Amino acid sequence: AELWAALYSPSEGAAPGRTWTKQISHTLQWLLAFMMMQGHGPLRRIFRLAAYLNKGQRVKVITDASPFGMGAVLVIDGVPVAWFAIPIQQQDVEVLGVQPGDCKGQQCWESLCCLIAVRIWRTRWASERLLLTVRTDNATALTMLAKLKASSEPLRVIAREMALGFAMGVFEPDITEHTPGVQNTIADVLSRRSDPQYQSSWSV
């Protein structure tokens, strides 16, 4: 989107035939990161019989976000094996331009939580084909996961990073799954660990 805008729309204040570096800097950095990440070949893909017969591990990532934090659970073959609960960082605010505690940023935090979970647990899903499900109660985050596209600039930043994460692995997630918010209890509780209203209920 940034490159398209630079090519097909005039850059305000720039000389004819030129554009501002800032307008396309993030896209250029992303492309450079992608090419440097790949390294030298060959690029290998391993197809195991268990995966072909749909008998491989079933990996599920369940995420949720609140206006103050994000939480997720990793479930393998029906057994929870890992989790995280992190507050929204100042760097997140600076990059995405959304303030914590503001409900207007909810779509960003939900999508960012999916990105963090996919990256943190990359070794669990990226090396071979398996049934990977990413479950969240946010439709915007699901759309971003499925299509790697978004309507707003903050969400486009996250979508680009999600695409980069998938490129680092062998396969993309097989399923994106919506779950009603009232059923997303564990991830919801984890996401609220940084909420001042709930911190008093947590033991040290």
The predicted model scores a pTM of: 0.75
> Cα–chain-centroid distance for residue 2?
20
Query: How far, in Å, CA of 112 to CA of 156, rounded?
Result: 11
Residue 182 has pLDDT above 60, yes or no: no
| Digit-coded pLDDT (tens) for 57-92 | 788 899 999 888 999 999 998 899 999 999 999 998
> What are the pLDDT digits (tens) for 145-178?
888 888 788 888 898 888 887 777 666 666 677 7
Contact between 179 and 137 (Cβ < 8 Å): yes
Which secondary-structure segment (H or E) carries 19? none
Closest CA to 70 of 112, 99, 122: 112
32 is written with which tokens?
């450079």
Query: Chain-wide mean pLDDT for the chain?
Result: 80
- What is the DSSP-derived secondary structure letter of residue 90? H
So what's the pLDDT on residue 172?
65
Please answer whether residues 54 and 159 qualify as being in contact, where contact means their C-beta atoms are separated by less than 8 angstroms.
no
More confident residue, 79 or 17: 79
Cis status of the peptide bond prior to 42, with omega within 30 of 0 = yes
Q: Can you tell me the mean pLDDT for 104-113?
A: 88
What the block records as the tokens of 23 is 């307008």
pLDDT tens track for 115-150: 999 889 888 777 666 677 888 888 888 888 888 888
Task: Please say whether the beta carbons of 136 and 96 come within 8 A.
Answer: no
pLDDT of residue 41: 66
3-state secondary structure string across 6-18: HHHCCCCCCCCCC
